[in-house]
Amino acid sequence: MAAPARASVLTRVLVRVLALNLAVAVAKLAFGYATGAISIISDGFHSLTDGASNVMAIVAMRAARKPPDEDHPYGHRKYETLAAAGIFVFLLLVVIEVLQGALGRLRGGHTPDVTAASFVVMLVTLGVNLLVVRYESERGRALRSELLLADAAHTRSDVLTSCAVMVSLAGVWLGYPQLDAIGGLVIAVFIAHTGIQIGREASGILSDRVVMSEDDIRRVVMGVAEVRGCHRIRTRGSADHTFLDLHVWFRGDTTLFEAHRLSHVVKDRLMAQYPHIADAIIHIEPPPTEMG
C-alpha cells in the first residue's frame, strides 16, 4: 500500500478508536467520582490517556504521510514511531497519577460506595475495550504499524486493569474496603508493564535496531546465479518501512555495466520478496579471493 493511502487508513482507524476510548473514559471517570471508588477513577484516567494518545497519533500521522523532501530524504515515517514513544510517556504519567491516588486512599481509609451499577459500568466498558483491542490489533498487523500495535497494547492493559477493578470492587462489596486501593496499585503495575513493552519497541526502531534476518536476505541475493556472495548486510527502520544496504560480490572480470545491471536484478528481487523494503543500496565488489 502506498504511504499516503496507508496513512489515510491509519488515521481513520485512530479516529474510530478515539471515539470509543473517550466514551469509555467519560463513563469510568463520571461513575468513579460519583461513587468515590479510586480503582474506577484510576482506570478512567488510564482510559483517558488512550484517547489522548489517539489524538497525538492522529497528529503524528499527518506528518508521517508527507513524502520525502530536501530535509528528510528518507521520508517522515519515524513520526509514527515517535508517536508510539509518546504513548509510553502518557503511560508513565498515568502510573504516577494512579500510585498517588492509591497510596492516598490507603492512608485515608475512605470506603467507596459500591453498587451493582458499578459492575455493570465496568462490564460494558470492558466489552468496548475488547472490541477496540481486536479491531486495532488486526489493523495494526495488516498495516505493519507499530503505532497501532502500541495503541492496541495500551488498550489491552485497560482490559487487564478493568478486571483488576472488578476484583477490587468485589472485595469492597464483601467488606474489605482496602482492596479498592490495592486494586489501584495492581493497575499501576499493569500500566507500567505495558509502557515498558511499548518503550522498548519504539526505542529499537529509533536506535536503528536490526529489522530483518541476514539469512533471509542472503537467500534471496544468492538466488541470482551471477552473485558470488554477499556480506555487510544491514537493515534499519520499521517492520513496514525498512532500509537495507549490503555488499554483493560479482566476478572480478564482470564489466561495470553488467555488474550494475545485475545489482538491479538483486534489488528488484529483494523488493519483490519483501515489499516493506523502502529502498536497498547495493555496493558492488569482487570476491575477497580476487582482490589480492
One digit per residue, the tens of pLDDT, for the chain of length 292 reads 555 677 778 788 888 888 888 888 888 888 888 877 777 777 787 777 777 777 777 777 777 777 788 888 887 778 778 877 877 887 787 788 778 777 776 776 566 667 777 788 888 888 888 888 889 888 888 887 767 887 787 777 777 777 777 777 787 788 777 777 777 787 778 778 877 877 888 888 888 899 999 999 999 999 999 999 999 999 998 877 899 999 999 998 999 999 999 999 999 999 999 988 989 999 999 998 865 5
Q: Which residues form the domain of 270?
A: 214-290
Those residues whose C-beta lies under 8 Å from the C-beta of residue 196, and which sit 6 or more positions away, are none
Among residues 153, 164, 246, the alpha carbon closest in space to that of 197 is found at 153
State if pTM tops 0.95: no
Pair (194, 251) in one structural domain: no
Pair (65, 17) in one structural domain: yes
The CATH number linked to 166 is 1.20.1510.10
Last residue of a domain, which of 206, 229, 244?
A: 206
Last residue of a domain, which of 186, 206, 226?
A: 206
Q: What is the pLDDT of residue 105?
A: 67
The CATH number linked to 223 is 3.30.70.1350
Among residues 161, 40, 188, the alpha carbon closest in space to that of 100 is found at 188
Supply 271's cell numbers.
523488493
Distance CA 120, CA 136 (A): 24
| Cell 534489488, located at residue | 267
Give, in degrees to the nearest 5, the angle at Cα 54 between 26 and 237: 155
Pair (270, 136) in one structural domain: no
Question: Helices marked H in 65-115 — which ranges?
Answer: 78-108
Distance CA 223, CA 262 (A): 12
Supply 135's cell numbers.
479491531
Strands 277-285 and 241-249: parallel
Q: What is the pLDDT of residue 4?
A: 62
Pair (246, 199) in one structural domain: no
| Cell 486495532, located at residue | 136
Total domains in the fold of the chain: 2
Q: What is the pLDDT of residue 179?
A: 73
Please report, for residues 13, 166, 290, the alpha-carbon distance to residue 185 in angstroms, rounded to integers and kept in the order given. Answer: 32, 14, 66
| Cell 468513579, located at residue | 32
CB 191 within 8 A of CB 90: no
Supply 17's cell numbers.
478508536
Pair (127, 165) in one structural domain: yes
Pair (55, 131) in one structural domain: yes
Last residue of a domain, which of 206, 223, 258?
A: 206
Pair (148, 65) in one structural domain: yes
Pair (177, 256) in one structural domain: no
Which sign, positive or negative, has the C-alpha torsion 253, 260, 71, 140? negative
Among residues 222, 242, 206, the alpha carbon closest in space to that of 80 is found at 206
Question: Of all helices (H) and strands (E), which one includes residue 130?
Answer: helix 116-143
Distance CA 43, CA 98 (A): 8
